[in-house]
Amino acid sequence: MNQNRNVNDENRLNDTRNRDIVVKMLNERGVELVEIAELTLDLQAKYIDGLTLEMCLDHVERVVMKREVQNAILTGLELDILAEKGHISEPLKSMLMNDYGLYGIDEVLALAIVNVYGSIGFTNFGYVDKLKPGVIKKIDDLGKEEGRCNTFLDDIVGAIAAAAASSIAHRFA
Ligand SMILES: [Ca+2]
């Protein structure tokens, strides 16, 4: 019993520490959590009266506390960064640097985030991926700059927004 409690405490500490790491990584890649919350508000405002940006930010915070989400962020952003540094071999290097349309693994990785709140998340993610609202457009434009790779970042940010929207939907269901 005691040992289980220690393991749980330790896991919680790790999640909090990794939360700080992934938020810092997102910031360094040019994304603030509040910009993700704006996407979430966009997705959910029409369904929930009186939904505020603060409430959306609160749910974005919950999403980035989840280990599956943290692992997907760590992996995806690391690949973008390694591609920029030239530390990835061909043919993957060119696919990542040119955001090759048929690569598809950026979306697959993002599904690990969307999955956390079940099937509602898929619809929201599809919507964000198609319309490219707000910060997603900014990320895509930045990614087209020479030497810059945002192949994973756009999908990860869209997926966090979609997962937060699903978390809100579950809360108000
Ligand atoms: Ca992408």
Ligand 1 geometric centre to CA of 105 (Å): 8
* pLDDT recorded at residue 2: 61
Percentage of residues in the chain having pLDDT higher than 90: 75
Higher pLDDT, 11 or 107: 107
Interatomic CA distance for residues 170 and 167, integer angstroms: 5
CATH of the domain at 12: 1.10.3760.10
pLDDT tens, residue by residue, 101-135 = 899 999 999 999 999 988 777 888 888 877 778 89
Q: How many domains would you assign to the chain?
A: 1
On whether the CB atoms of residues 161 and 134 are closer than 8 A, the answer is no
Ligand 1 geometric centre to CA of 52 (Å): 28
Ligand 1 geometric centre to CA of 153 (Å): 7
pLDDT tens, residue by residue, 51-67 = 999 999 999 999 999 99
Ligand 1 geometric centre to CA of 100 (Å): 9
Ligand 1 geometric centre to CA of 51 (Å): 29
Q: Structure pTM?
A: 0.92
C-beta neighbour count of 100 within 10 angstroms:
14
Structure tokens at 48: 């929930």
* pLDDT recorded at residue 128: 81
Which residue type occupies 41?
L
Q: What is the mean pLDDT of the chain?
A: 92
In which domain, by residue range, is 135 found? 2-172
Q: Helices (DSSP H) in 85-119: which residue ranges? A: 92-97, 105-114
Percentage of residues in the chain having pLDDT higher than 70: 98
Ligand 1 geometric centre to CA of 140 (Å): 8
pLDDT band at 6 (very low <50, low <70, confident <90, very high): confident
* pLDDT recorded at residue 124: 85
C-beta neighbour count of 69 within 10 angstroms:
25
